[in-house]
């Protein structure tokens, strides 16, 4: 069914003939595990965004007010749809490939008709859904090549069943990944990397549901396997969007990035399972206040933040160590790629320092709040379970609140009570949230 209709809670049944023999028991076990862990993220998928955001979306692409009556309920939310339109406005892509048809197909086709008229090839595992989507697009006077692609393939290195894709374009300027559903396997969308060699230099990948635990692990593997594609988790929305941009060639030689193959893997298997359990430990440990044990990806970042805070505390009273109170945000952003948040009124800058980090350079600022609380703000590139809403961790007697804005992670720490630290972090993180 398209977004004209309500979606049932459970996924549409698959034809028995499309399910290959030998579906491994571990796939079922992984689904059960991630269902237990990821239900808060799955629940978010049932909400499609605010009425204001939808109205703005419909207005910018010239669709009628009733064109998208039933967003949410597993469909793309308005934040993801806005990201699609943003990318089309910027890139003017000649060829867009979409995995998982529906509301995104209509929005993408309409945006393409307004910005360059590129070609859209969309794949969905349900033949009736693909036909209904084609009819729906025709009613809005746009078109796309919507194809039935049953889940009957296996991609080496990734679990779950993958689309049986035919007639793929040789060159893809934009790849939209909104399927298969997580119920096939929490890591199934990782198999989309089989299309990355077709991505044109400067091309863009958009992955929906990027905040879910399974997609977090997929993103981590992609970052390791595809160094020529820079991935960033974008803030805002109910489900999160991972955006990847393939590097432009440094020289005009043809085919400079014509097909970088991923690093070899013997299969996600047990390594992914272990990573999943590490992530689960952090997410399951959270309570309503956001307190909990951070997942594996945050440990190194939080250790570095705690170490820099201790170093700043030692430097403070030393006469031989001169504190630098000059903050040049533009220079720091140009030199490190780190865009620092705005500070609340009444806060003072006591020190600005650069530290080495595993991913390059980190920035550490010592700040004095309006209540004369001395805190340390640490920023570097890192992937954590946090989003734009800060989480709380504890290192010894020190509370650390951490959050992300794009591909930059921030940590606020110091001799402040945990609840107060979380409040301060929320004030800093607020400007980075998208409305």
392: β partners: 291, 401
Do residue 264 and residue 322 come from a single domain? Answer: no
Q: Is 297 part of a structural domain of the chain?
A: yes
Q: Are residues 311 and 390 in the same domain?
A: yes
* pLDDT value of residue 61: 94
Q: Look at the block and give the residue holding tokens 């991505």.
A: 199
Q: Are residues 257 and 405 in the same domain?
A: no
Say what the pLDDT of residue 236 is.
Answer: 59
pLDDT on residue 193: 96
Sign, Cα dihedral of 365, 385, 206, 154:
positive
- 47, 182: one domain: yes
Q: How far is CA 401 from CA 215, 274, 338, 369, 420, in A?
A: 23, 26, 18, 15, 10
| Residues 269, 295 within the same domain | no
Domain boundary among 279, 305, 325: 279
Q: What's the confidence (pLDDT) of residue 286? A: 38
> How far is residue 175's CA from residue 192's CA, in Å, rounded to a whole number?
9
Q: What is the pTM of this model?
A: 0.60
pLDDT at 7: 45
Looking at residue 248, its pLDDT comes to: 84
Same domain, yes or no: 349 and 227: no
Domain check: are 147 and 233 in the same one? yes
Quick one: pLDDT at residue 44? 55
CA gap 101, 122 in Å, rounded: 6
What does the pLDDT read at residue 256? 35
Structure tokens at 416: 């402040």
Residue at token pair 């047990």: 270
Domain match, 201 and 86 both: yes
What CATH number does residue 357 fall under?
3.30.200.100
Report strand pairing: 172-177 vs 95-99.
parallel
Q: Do 245 and 299 belong together in one domain?
A: no
Does any domain span residue 3? no
pLDDT of residue 32: 59
Q: Is there a domain that residue 362 lies in? A: yes
Nearest CA-CA partner of 404 in 276, 218, 240: 240
Contact 308, 378 (CB under 8 A): yes
Same domain, 81 and 229: yes
Residues 6+ positions from 164 with CB-CB distance below 8 Å: 149, 150, 151, 152, 153
Residue 219, class by beta-carbon neighbours within 10 Å (0-12 exposed, 13-18 middle, 19+ buried)? buried
What are the average pLDDT values for consecutive 10-residue runs of the chain, which has 435 residues? 45 47 55 54 57 89 83 69 94 97 94 95 95 94 96 91 95 96 89 96 94 86 92 74 86 38 45 45 38 50 87 85 86 90 93 84 94 94 78 82 87 92 91 44
| Pair 23, 144 in one domain | yes
Domain at 63, CATH number: 3.40.50.150
- According to the model, what pLDDT value does residue 19 have? 45
What's the residue count for the chain?
435
Token pair recorded at residue 182: 């997580």
Write out the residue range of the structural domain in which residue 377 sits.
Answer: 289-432
Q: Are 390 and 290 in contact (CB under 8 A)?
A: yes
pLDDT of residue 26: 56
Total structural domains within the chain = 2
CA 59 from centre of chain: 26
């Amino acid at each position: 069914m398209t977004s004209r209709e309500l979606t049932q809670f459970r996924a549409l049944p698959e034809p028995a003939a499309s399910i290959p023999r030998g579906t491994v028991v571990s796939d079922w076990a992984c689904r059960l595990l991630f269902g237990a862990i990821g239900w808060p993220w799955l629940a978010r998928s049932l909400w499609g965004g605010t009425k204001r955001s939808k109205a703005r979306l419909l207005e910018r692409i010239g669709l009628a007010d009733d064109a998208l009556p039933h967003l949410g309920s597993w469909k793309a939310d308005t934040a993801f749809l806005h990201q699609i339109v943003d990318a089309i406005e910027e890139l003017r892509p000649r060829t867009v490939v979409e995995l998982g048809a529906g509301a995104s197909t209509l929005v993408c086709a309409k945006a393409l008709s307004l910005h360059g008229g590129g070609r859209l090839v969309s794949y969905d595992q349900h033949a009736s859904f693909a036909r209904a989507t084609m009819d729906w697009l025709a009613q809005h006077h746009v078109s796309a090549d919507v194809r039935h692609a049953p889940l009957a393939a296996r991609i080496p290195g990734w679990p779950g069943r993958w689309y049986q894709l035919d007639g793929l374009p040789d060159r893809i300027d934009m790849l939209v990944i909104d399927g298969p559903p997580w119920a096939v396997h929490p890591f199934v969308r990782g198999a989309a990397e089989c299309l990355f060699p077709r991505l044109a230099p400067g091309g863009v990948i958009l992955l929906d549901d990027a905040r879910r635990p399974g997609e977090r692990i997929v993103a981590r593997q992609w970052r390791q396997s595809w160094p020529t594609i820079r991935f960033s988790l974008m803030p805002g929305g109910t489900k999160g969007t991972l955006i990847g941009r393939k590097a432009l060639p440094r020289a005009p030689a043809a085919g400079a990035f014509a097909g970088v193959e991923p690093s070899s893997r013997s299969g996600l298997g047990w390594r992914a399972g272990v990573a999943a359990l590490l992530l689960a430990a952090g997410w399951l440990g959270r309570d309503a206040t956001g307190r909990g044990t951070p997942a594996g990806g945050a440990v190194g970042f939080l250790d570095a933040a705690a170490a820099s805070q201790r170093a700043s505390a030692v430097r403070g009273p030393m006469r031989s160590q001169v504190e630098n109170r000059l903050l040049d945000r533009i220079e720091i952003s140009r030199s490190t790629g780190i865009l620092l948040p705005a500070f609340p009124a009444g806060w003072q800058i006591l020190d600005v320092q650069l530290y080495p980090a595993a991913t390059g350079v980190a920035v550490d600022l010592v700040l004095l709040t309006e209540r004369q609380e001395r805190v340390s703000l640490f920023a570097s590139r890192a992937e954590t379970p946090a989003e734009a809403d800060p989480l709380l961790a504890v290192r010894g007697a020190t509370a650390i609140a951490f959050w992300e804005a794009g591909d930059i992670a921030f940590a606020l720490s110091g001799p402040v009570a945990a609840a107060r630290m979380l409040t301060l972090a929320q004030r800093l993180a607020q400007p980075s949230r998208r409305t």
